[in-house]
């Protein structure tokens, strides 16, 4: 026994402080779907891929909405606004990982590779891992981009079919991340192209090291990062779906930063004094989409009735604990072109019943609500909100079954239009109203799986199309305001709330800047001793 | 029979369990009368009210949950569900299990072989796991949860009844009545079954508690009862997020499950001692 | 006993075959087209559909499918997970040690506390101490462990801050997998002692939760079998010889009461696996239970299929080991055969 104690003591003595490296732990809310932002639409995937491993040609200024150079050090546009020429930074090294050693730096081929994969149906990578590019397709990038070509190794030219106001901002979005062509070629040769989306190689500040499914993701700092290495050495995403557990872990010092603190815990976190809580009105919308192609939800009266039957004030009190603003438009009030003239459908079960009777559903009907399986700022507790909706609708005779799936499956099935009523939400990702109105409600979004209401209205489409093709802000604003009116009259969604966004972190965390778009980037973060 | 009740009466634990259970049964029978509100009614602006002893209001004696439903009413209706679940699990597994056990023990041979192979397979899969798999096929719902848990509990009955049947079969009176030309049915139902009753009763009373526990566990994992059903396991799981701010939402359903299961186990212990005096004192 | 052992050994194969049929039937019994279920309606272009169908082997006659599946199983191919694109067997092996570690420590805890509890109860039978201990055991036996776990987390992790909330080891440590048992691997790693402490720290609460029901059962069994033995004649003789009660119980009683205790410990191993599913889910313990539950939620059919077979195999092997131990502690049975 004494010997054992001695040995242990011995070991202890020699091997105690070997890991002084700075390790930053982020307790995230959900597992990433995949490690490629091209194939995703959800925050957890973006945070784990595009904001760590990858870069884009241009980026948003950290903590802001302004567009700044990234992989492209400069760019120019022709007068018509249809030809964009990007000049790439020289000597941007791709990451050297355990599974891939790059032999060359970033060049125009990588840019072509990344966009061609999404754009060209016959690209060898187009169909890999499902081949569903919801953002790229949903935003109609495929028909917008007529051609991409390189004039030399460091110059890429995008030719557009027509001028598009938000184009540059689109290139700063997650799905426009640049992958390595060399890596793609190597994998193709090995016969394992699938790996490209599970073992990512990019140019970003953090190198992907390991993913333990549903448990954690490890990154290490990219020492060769072209903007200089990050302040922290190791970055860990500890996947913790339960909001209360995340808070408990923060308190126990097991994580430095937590995703989506539950509104219920926020007052406690603030009171503790050891943590920093930031609050800001979010650039988001939580909504309940009607599948307007399914009976009886194709009936406008039925949709209106359901909108009237839902007591959203109660949801805001119970689910958001008051930390949200009741929504009447699909875009948040902090965004330009918000139409404040619009009249909302206020809670009125009696009128809802009348409308249902008028629509021929005097006795009500049965339907399904799909409840959000993850906690997002725009809807912190989908299941509970579902139960409240269920009860509200029961009062007007609509019998609701609550259904849910795991996050990835939920999105896939909803993109396919298998739902009846669907809880979802959106956090803006380039600050343009087009990013809400066109992506979520445009006709093209139906085929592409981002328009969950499956709603296509000619007038609406006309307005958002015209708004997109001009750079005249006043004209654009007029069109968007009209579009919001058409939206409200047709009720493809029940607009629920614009939530306040909370961030909670340890006091040791320095240099964190919250993005208005809701993603997390830890490149500039530091840990104080 | 008299002796049996006498012995049962001496067991204070069993009697206590019995009384508690009677209370729960009464509560579940008269749930609509006892519950102050409908279990699914949402009270606006009365979210997360604490119970009366930590500063709540008289109108919601045990407080309200995070979306403003009366906790007391939900617990009362939850009693109904849990007892029903226990009852159905026991009935289902008892009927099927005892039948299969009798068949295996009585006929022996290949019938026995097939049934016992099936038992081996069921036994190779840990109980909840098997239930989860069955629910995965049938889809999550309270009914499917009950079916799944009943299947899980089958091997216990089959093995016990089969064993008892086999030892009964060796006794002379069975042979004798066979000589008199008793049919298989008569043999099984009149001669053998009544003599296997003791272990069956003990198993059934323990089956109640297992059934309630397992269905609650399925509910906790989100694979059992679906909202808005006020099932205890589901209530507990849903309140996990509020465990720090509103601990009663987690603890009250937890306590309810514990008390009911404990009562059934006390009863089961008492019954076993009363039916099998040899085991007394164990 | 050897006979029983031989029977058990030979029963593994047909049972496993039966389990494989269940696992195989599973994907086909689920309502709806499994390929569609996995792909979703629109994600399924005819090409993708066919590729998926072929990869699951669903484009052939059912019987042929089954034999092919069986053939794959024999070569150790348990399929590939849809969500992670990794072989099911690999995923299983990654997680298996975590469950084993939790199970072994939980069981050790149950034995270490359960047996003495039973002994004390039996020695002090019909005293308040006996009633308290047995009352506690009955309470533990009736405990819904998912609630118990939450209560303990609230008290020990949140209120007192003594134990971590969840996980297997602090994420700060990156331990290379050698044995898969973190308690051992951590000592072998560079960080050694602090990593070991962290692993142990994470293990305490889940192991306690997992061990609660076995502990209760073992305590009850120890008490009752000891009481039975103490009524035997030779114990009376021993007492008459003037041995102290302590010696009687420890020397003569316990030795003979060991067999039923070992039996019940063996029976409890199944309960440990069941408990592991709930415990792992609550403590985010990266073991088989959590893996399986989350695969069911994600409808990862290859994992569910392969997982059932692998878990069943584990249970059977564990049972066989228990029988061996049984044989070892019970010399009477050894001589018999």
CA-based nearest distance B213→chain C, Å: 6
The stretches of C155-243 forming alpha helices (DSSP H) are: 182-188, 192-230, 233-240
Cβ–Cβ contact A93 with B under 8 A: no
Domain boundaries, chain C: 88-336
Contact criterion met (CB < 8 Å) for A216 and C171: yes
- Domain span including residue A83: 24-238+508-527
Long-range CB contact pairs, C115-118, < 8 A, 24+:
C115/C218, C115/C219, C115/C222, C115/C261, C117/C215, C117/C219, C117/C222, C117/C223, C118/C218, C118/C219, C118/C220, C118/C221, C118/C222, C118/C223, C118/C226, C118/C261
Mark whether A469 and A523 lie in a shared domain.
no
Is pLDDT above 50 for B20?
yes
Is pLDDT above 50 for A437?
yes
Q: Under a CB-based contact definition with an 8 Å cutoff, are residues B213 and B91 in contact?
A: no
* Contacts C271 to B, Cβ<8 Å: 126
Contact criterion met (CB < 8 Å) for A264 and B242: yes
Q: What is the pLDDT of residue A262?
A: 83
Which CATH number goes with the domain that contains A158?
3.90.76.10
Measure the CA dihedral B222/B224/B227/B229, to 10°: -140
Q: What is the pLDDT of residue C112?
A: 92
Is pLDDT above 60 for B281?
no
Contact criterion met (CB < 8 Å) for A218 and C174: yes
Neighbours of A485 (CB within 10 A): 17
Q: Would residue A275 count as lying in a domain?
A: no
Contacts of B38 (CB under 8 A, 6+ apart): B73
pLDDT tens-digit profile of B107-157?
888 999 999 988 988 888 877 888 888 887 788 889 999 998 999 889 989
Q: What is the pLDDT of residue A272?
A: 83
Contacts of B66 (CB under 8 A, 6+ apart): A264, A318, A381, A384, B47, B48, B238, B239, B241, B242, B246, B249
CA-based nearest distance B180→chain A, Å: 60
* Contacts B124 to C, Cβ<8 Å: 15-16, 19, 312, 315-316
Mark whether A471 and A514 lie in a shared domain.
no
Reported CATH class of domain B2-279: mainly alpha
Q: Reduced to 3 states, what is the DSSP secondary structure of residue A103?
A: coil
Q: Under a CB-based contact definition with an 8 Å cutoff, are residues B153 and B211 in contact?
A: yes
Q: What is the pLDDT of residue B115?
A: 92
More confident position, A12 or C313 = C313
Which of A250, A263, A388 should be substituted to probe chain B, the one whose Cβ sees the most B Cβ atoms within 10 Å? Answer: A388
Which CATH number goes with the domain that contains A305?
3.10.105.10
List all residues of chain A from 256 to 285 with a beta carbon under 8 Å from chain B: 262, 264-265, 268
Q: Would residue A164 count as lying in a domain?
A: yes
- Extract the tokens encoding A431: 């600050």
Cβ–Cβ contact B47 with A under 8 A: yes
Question: Any bridge partners for residue B108, and if so which?
Answer: none
Q: What is the pLDDT of residue C334?
A: 56
* Contacts B42 to A, Cβ<8 Å: 314, 388, 391-392
Cβ–Cβ contact A130 with C under 8 A: yes
CA-based nearest distance C110→chain A, Å: 24
CA-based nearest distance B140→chain A, Å: 10
Cα C240 to its chain centre, rounded Å, is: 44
Q: What mean pLDDT is predicted for residues B205-212? A: 88
Which of A218, A219, A406, A454 should be substituted to probe chain C, the one whose Cβ sees the most C Cβ atoms within 10 Å? Answer: A406
A238: nearest CA in chain C?
C171
Mark whether A368 and A487 lie in a shared domain.
yes
Q: Which residue has the tokens 């139902």?
A: B189
Which of A220, A239, A254 should be substituted to probe chain C, the one whose Cβ sees the most C Cβ atoms within 10 Å? Answer: A254
**H-helix or E-strand spanning residue A25:** strand A23-28
C187: nearest CA in chain A?
A11
- The rounded distance, in Å, linking the Cα atoms of B210 and B206 is 6
Mark whether A84 and A223 lie in a shared domain.
yes
Contact criterion met (CB < 8 Å) for C19 and B121: yes
Q: How far is CA A45 from CA A40, A175, A514, C67, in A?
A: 7, 11, 18, 39
More confident position, B182 or A345 = A345
pLDDT tens-digit profile of A53-92?
999 999 998 888 888 999 999 999 998 889 999 999 998 9
Mark whether A512 and A494 lie in a shared domain.
no
More confident position, B171 or A154 = A154
Mark whether A455 and A517 lie in a shared domain.
no
Number of CB pairs, chain A paired with chain C, less than 8 A apart: 101
Backbone φ and ψ for C161, nearest 5 degrees, come out as 70, 25
Q: Which residue has the tokens 């019970």?
A: C330
Q: Under a CB-based contact definition with an 8 Å cutoff, are residues B230 and B79 in contact?
A: no
Is pLDDT above 50 for A6?
no
- The rounded distance, in Å, linking the Cα atoms of A521 and A511 is 11
* C-alpha radius of gyration, chain C, whole number: 24
C189: nearest CA in chain A?
A15
Mark whether A471 and A422 lie in a shared domain.
yes
Contact criterion met (CB < 8 Å) for A391 and B40: yes
- The rounded distance, in Å, linking the Cα atoms of A94 and A71 is 12
Which of A409, A410, A419 should be substituted to probe chain C, the one whose Cβ sees the most C Cβ atoms within 10 Å? Answer: A409
Q: What is the pLDDT of residue C37?
A: 62
pLDDT tens-digit profile of B243-273?
888 889 999 999 999 999 999 999 888 888 8
Contact criterion met (CB < 8 Å) for C165 and A249: yes
Contacts of B136 (CB under 8 A, 6+ apart): B223, C26, C30, C296, C299, C304
Q: Helices (H), strands (E): how many in chain A?
A: 18, 20
Backbone φ and ψ for C95, nearest 5 degrees, come out as -100, -20
Q: What mean pLDDT is predicted for residues A423-452? A: 88
- Extract the tokens encoding A416: 């396919």
Mark whether A518 and A460 lie in a shared domain.
no
Cβ–Cβ contact B68 with A under 8 A: yes
Of B121, B128, B258, the CB nearest to C15: B121
CA-based nearest distance A243→chain B, Å: 6
Is pLDDT above 80 for A366?
yes
CA angle A427, A42, C285 (to 5 degrees): 125
Q: Under a CB-based contact definition with an 8 Å cutoff, are residues A526 and A232 in contact?
A: yes
Of A243, A262, A318, the CB nearest to B47: A318
- Of A310-324, A458-472, C22-36, least confident by mean pLDDT is C22-36
Q: Under a CB-based contact definition with an 8 Å cutoff, are residues C219 and C118 in contact?
A: yes
Contact criterion met (CB < 8 Å) for A391 and B240: no
Mark whether A495 and A421 lie in a shared domain.
yes
Q: What is the pLDDT of residue A305?
A: 95
What dotted CATH number matches C88-336?
1.10.3720.10
Of B48, B68, B243, the CB nearest to A244: B243
- Of A21-25, A170-174, A422-426, B3-7, least confident by mean pLDDT is B3-7
Q: Would residue A490 count as lying in a domain?
A: yes
Confidence of residue A4 (pLDDT cuts 50, 70, 90): very low
Q: Residue A429: name the closest of A500, A332, A287 by CA.
A: A332
Q: Would residue A252 count as lying in a domain?
A: no
Q: Residue C289: name the closest of B156, B216, B217, A246 by CA.
A: B217
Mark whether A295 and A219 lie in a shared domain.
no
Contact criterion met (CB < 8 Å) for C312 and B125: yes
Q: How many domains, in total, are found in chain A?
A: 2
Sign of torsion over alpha carbons A337, A341, A342, A344: positive
Confidence of residue B4 (pLDDT cuts 50, 70, 90): confident
Confidence of residue B56 (pLDDT cuts 50, 70, 90): confident
- The rounded distance, in Å, linking the Cα atoms of C287 and B205 is 33
> Please, how many CA atoms are within 13 Å of residue A230, restricted to the half-sphere of its CB?
30
CA-based nearest distance C48→chain B, Å: 24
Cβ–Cβ contact B242 with A under 8 A: yes
pLDDT tens-digit profile of B74-118?
999 999 999 999 999 999 999 999 999 999 988 888 999 999 988
Of B129, B237, B258, the CB nearest to C143: B258
pLDDT tens-place values along chain C, 337 residues long? 667 777 777 778 888 888 888 888 877 776 666 676 666 554 556 666 777 777 667 777 778 888 888 888 888 888 888 777 788 999 899 889 999 999 999 999 999 999 999 989 988 888 999 999 999 999 999 999 999 999 999 888 888 888 888 888 887 787 777 788 888 888 887 778 888 888 898 999 999 999 999 999 999 988 888 888 877 777 777 777 777 777 777 777 777 777 777 777 777 777 787 788 899 988 888 899 888 888 887 778 888 889 989 988 888 888 888 778 777 776 665 554 4
- The rounded distance, in Å, linking the Cα atoms of A73 and A313 is 48
Number of CB pairs, chain B paired with chain C, less than 8 A apart: 127
């Amino acid at each position: 026994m004494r010997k054992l104690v001695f040995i242990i003591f011995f070991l202890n003595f020699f091997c105690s402080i070997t890991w002084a490296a700075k390790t930053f732990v982020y307790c995230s809310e959900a597992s990433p779907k995949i490690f490629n932002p091209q194939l995703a639409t959800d925050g957890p995937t973006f945070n784990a891929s595009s904001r760590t491993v990858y870069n884009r040609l241009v980026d948003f200024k950290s903590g802001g909405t302004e567009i700044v150079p990234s992989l492209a050090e400069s760019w120019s546009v022709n007068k018509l606004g249809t030809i964009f020429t990007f000049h790439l930074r020289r000597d941007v090294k791709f990451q050297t990982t355990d599974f891939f050693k790059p032999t060359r730096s970033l060049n125009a081929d990588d840019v072509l590779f990344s966009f061609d994969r999404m754009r060209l149906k016959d690209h060898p990578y187009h169909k890999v891992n499902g081949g569903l590019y919801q953002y790229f397709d949903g935003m109609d990038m495929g028909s917008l981009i007529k051609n991409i070509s390189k004039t030399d190794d460091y110059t890429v030219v995008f030719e557009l079919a027509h001028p598009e106001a938000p184009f540059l901002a689109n290139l700063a979005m997650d799905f426009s991340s640049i992958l390595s062509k060399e890596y793609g070629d190597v994998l193709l040769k090995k016969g394992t192209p699938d790996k490209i989306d599970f073992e990512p190689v990019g140019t970003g500040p953090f190198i992907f090291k390991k993913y333990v499914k549903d448990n954690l993701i490890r990154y290490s700092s990219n020492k060769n990062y072209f903007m200089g290495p990050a302040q922290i050495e190791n970055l860990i995403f500890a996947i913790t779906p339960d909001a209360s557990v995340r808070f408990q872990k923060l308190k126990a010092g097991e994580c430095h930063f937590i995703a989506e603190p539950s509104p219920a815990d926020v007052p406690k976190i603030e009171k503790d004094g050891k943590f920093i809580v930031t609050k800001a009105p979010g650039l988001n919308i939580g909504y309940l989409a009607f599948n307007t192609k399914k009976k009886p939800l194709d009936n406008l009266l039925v949709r209106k009735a359901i909108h009237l039957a839902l007591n959203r004030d109660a949801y805001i009190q119970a689910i958001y604990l008051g930390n949200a603003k009741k929504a009447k438009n699909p875009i948040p009030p902090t965004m330009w072109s918000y139409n404040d003239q619009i009249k909302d459908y206020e809670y009125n079960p009696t009128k809802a019943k009348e409308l249902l009777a008028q629509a021929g559903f005097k006795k009500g009907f049965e339907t399904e609500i799909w409840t959000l399986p993850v906690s997002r700022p725009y809807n912190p507790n989908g299941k509970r909100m579902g139960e409240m909706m269920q009860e509200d609708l029961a009062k007007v005779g609509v019998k609701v079954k609550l259904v849910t799936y795991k996050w990835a499956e939920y999105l896939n099935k909803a993109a396919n239009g298998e739902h009846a009523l669907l809880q979802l939400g959106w956090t803006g990702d380039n600050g343009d109203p087009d990013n809400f109105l066109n992506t979520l409600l445009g006709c093209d979004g139906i085929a592409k799986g981002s328009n969950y209401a499956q709603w296509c209205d000619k007038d609406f489409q006309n307005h958002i199309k015209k708004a997109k093709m001009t750079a005249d802000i006043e004209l654009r604003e007029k069109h968007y305001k009209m579009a919001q009116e058409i939206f409200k009259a047709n009720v493809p969604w029940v607009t629920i709330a614009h939530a306040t966004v909370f961030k909670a972190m340890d006091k040791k965390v320095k240099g964190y800047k919250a993005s208005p778009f809701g993603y997390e980037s830890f490149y500039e973060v530091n840990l104080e001793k | 029979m008299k002796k049996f009740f006498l012995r049962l009466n001496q067991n204070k634990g069993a009697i206590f369990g019995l009384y508690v259970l009677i209370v729960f049964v009464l509560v579940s029978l008269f749930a609509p009368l006892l519950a102050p509100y409908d279990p699914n009614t949402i009270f606006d602006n009365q979210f997360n009210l604490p119970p009366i002893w930590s500063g709540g209001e008289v109108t919601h004696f045990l407080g309200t949950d995070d979306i403003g439903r009366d906790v007391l009413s939900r617990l009362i209706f939850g009693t109904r569900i849990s007892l029903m679940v226990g009852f159905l699990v026991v009935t289902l597994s008892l009927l099927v299990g005892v039948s299969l056990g009798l068949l295996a023990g009585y006929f022996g041979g290949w019938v026995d072989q097939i049934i016992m192979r099936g038992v081996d397979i069921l036994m190779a899969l840990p109980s909840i796991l098997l239930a989860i798999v069955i629910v995965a096929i049938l889809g999550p719902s309270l009914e499917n949860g009950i079916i799944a848990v009943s299947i899980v509990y089958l091997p216990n009955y089959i093995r016990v009844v089969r064993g008892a049947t086999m030892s009964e079969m060796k006794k002379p009176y069975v042979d004798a009545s066979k000589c008199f030309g008793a049919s298989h049915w008569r043999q099984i139902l009149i001669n053998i079954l009544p003599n296997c009753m003791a272990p069956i009763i003990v198993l059934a009373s323990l089956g109640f508690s297992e059934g309630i526990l397992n269905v609650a566990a399925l509910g906790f994992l989100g694979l059992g009862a679906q909202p808005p059903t006020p099932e205890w396991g589901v209530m507990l799981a849903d309140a996990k997020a509020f465990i720090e701010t509103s601990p009663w939402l987690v603890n009250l359903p937890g306590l309810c499950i514990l008390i009911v299961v404990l009562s059934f186990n006390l009863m089961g212990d008492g019954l076993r001692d009363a039916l099998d005096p040899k085991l007394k004192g164990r | 006993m050897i006979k029983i052992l031989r029977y058990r050994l030979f029963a593994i194969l047909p049972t496993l075959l039966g389990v494989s049929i269940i696992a195989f039937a599973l994907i086909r019994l689920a309502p709806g087209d499994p390929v569609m279920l996995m792909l979703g309606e629109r994600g399924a272009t005819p090409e993708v559909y066919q590729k998926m169908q072929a990869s699951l082997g669903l484009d052939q006659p059912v019987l042929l499918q089954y034999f092919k599946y069986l053939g794959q199983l024999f070569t150790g191919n348990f399929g590939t997970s849809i969500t992670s694109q990794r072989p099911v067997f690999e995923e299983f092996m990654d997680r298996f040690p975590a469950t084993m570690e939790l199970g072994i420590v939980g069981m050790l805890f149950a034995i270490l506390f359960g047996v003495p509890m039973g002994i004390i109860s039996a020695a002090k039978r019909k005293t308040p101490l006996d009633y308290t201990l047995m009352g506690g055991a009955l309470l533990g036996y009736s405990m819904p462990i998912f609630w118990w776990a939450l209560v303990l987390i609230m008290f020990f992790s949140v209120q007192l801050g003594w134990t971590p909330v969840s996980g297997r080891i602090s994420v700060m440590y990156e331990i290379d997998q050698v044995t898969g048992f973190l308690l051992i691997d951590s000592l072998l790693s560079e960080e050694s002692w602090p990593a070991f402490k962290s692993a142990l720290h994470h293990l305490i609460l889940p192991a306690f939760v997992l061990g609660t029901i076995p502990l209760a059962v073992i305590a009850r069994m120890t008490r009752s079998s000891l009481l039975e033995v103490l009524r035997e004649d030779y114990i009376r003789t021993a007492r008459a010889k003037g041995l102290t009660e302590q010696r009687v119980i420890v020397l003569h009683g316990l030795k003979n009461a060991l067999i039923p205790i070992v039996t019940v410990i063996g029976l409890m191993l199944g309960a440990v696996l069941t408990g592991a599913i709930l415990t792992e889910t609550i403590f985010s313990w990266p073991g088989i239970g959590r893996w399986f539950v989350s695969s069911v939620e994600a409808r990862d059919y290859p994992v569910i299929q392969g997982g059932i077979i692998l878990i069943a195999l584990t249970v059977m092997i564990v049972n066989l080991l228990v029988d061996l131990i049984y044989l070892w502690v019970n010399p009477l049975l050894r001589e018999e055969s």
